[in-house]
Structure 1
Amino acid sequence: MGSITAIANAFFAACETGKGWEGCKTYCAPNATFAAQAEPLADIKALSEYADWMKGLMTIMPDGRYEVKSFATDTERNNVAAYAVFSGTHTGPGGPCEPTGKKTTSDYVYVMQFTGDKISHMTKIWNSGVALKQLGWI
């Protein structure tokens, strides 16, 4: 399929633009797992669920976008880390309350672990509390 860097980049773009699992699954093992120490994601254990969660987030924040700050491949450990900043405004339906019209600018990191040329696990590192406060959700 290609280098893990190219695969991770394609997955990242698909996930962050709300393509959901349908748009992401070609880059991943079918049973890829997910982990995050962030309250809104506590119950999500499958990467397919996370990809669909991001799709839903783009409905809540239709102006959602990301800016990649760093993209690094660790060939010894067979993983790729992407650091980005997500920005979006809660103007769409959904979420824990009516649209607040408030904006978040939130740093996060994905660490995508590969088995062969497929993502088999992803960890999201994110301070969700800051984002939720900015959006007026807590």
Structure 2
Amino acid sequence: MSNINDVAAAFFDACETGQGWDGCAEYCTPDATFSAQSEAIGDITELSDYADWMKGTLMIMPDGSYDLKSWAVDTERNSVLAYAVFNATHTGEGGPVPPTGKSVSSDYVYDMRFEGDKISHMTKIWHSGVALQQLGWA
């Protein structure tokens, strides 16, 4: 894959379906970084750790899915933006509290930055406070 659109799409699906870093690494530079101004994930700085966090999220919310709303490729800036809504219900063990049975529908955006044909940095734009309230975690 050399087209950033195709690479971003493959990464996005792998990440959002809980494949963890093992399923995402081939689309990224080995030292890909991550950032988010979000309470729940603000301390994650490596994309590998974020991909594994998503894998863990889908273990406690096994019905988790995404609804892709918008997709944009910016070849001038070598980036791809994805806007989606994450939907899930907390039914699995291992979360911050016992399963609440509550559901979440949470908007988010990924800004995937490329070096050549690999993602080198991703920023997630997400209001985790609303999501945590919906799940009964806050």
2:108 matched residue in structure 1: 108
Structure 1 outlier segments of 4+, above 2 Å: none
Identity percentage over the alignment? 67
Aligned residues: 138
Unaligned stretches of 5+ residues in structure 2: none
2:76 matched residue in structure 1: 76
1:32 pairs with 2:32? yes
Counterpart Cα distance in 2 of 1:42 and 1:86: 18
Counterpart Cα distance in 1 of 2:86 and 2:42: 19
Counterpart Cα distance in 2 of 1:121 and 1:28: 8
* Aligned AA (1:21): W
1:13 matched residue in structure 2: 13
Q: Could you tell me how far 1:42 is from its partner in structure 2?
A: 1.5
Q: Could you tell me how far 1:31 is from its partner in structure 2?
A: 0.1
2:97 matched residue in structure 1: 97
> With structure 1 as the length reference, what TM-score do the two structures score?
0.99
> With structure 2 as the length reference, what TM-score do the two structures score?
0.99
Q: Could you tell me how far 1:46 is from its partner in structure 2?
A: 0.1
Q: Could you tell me how far 1:2 is from its partner in structure 2?
A: 2.1
| Partner deviation per Cα, 1:12-64 (whole Å, 9 max, x = no partner) | 00000000000000000000000000111021100000000000000010000
Q: Could you tell me how far 1:94 is from its partner in structure 2?
A: 1.3
* Aligned AA (1:95): G
* Aligned AA (1:74): D
1:120 pairs with 2:120? yes
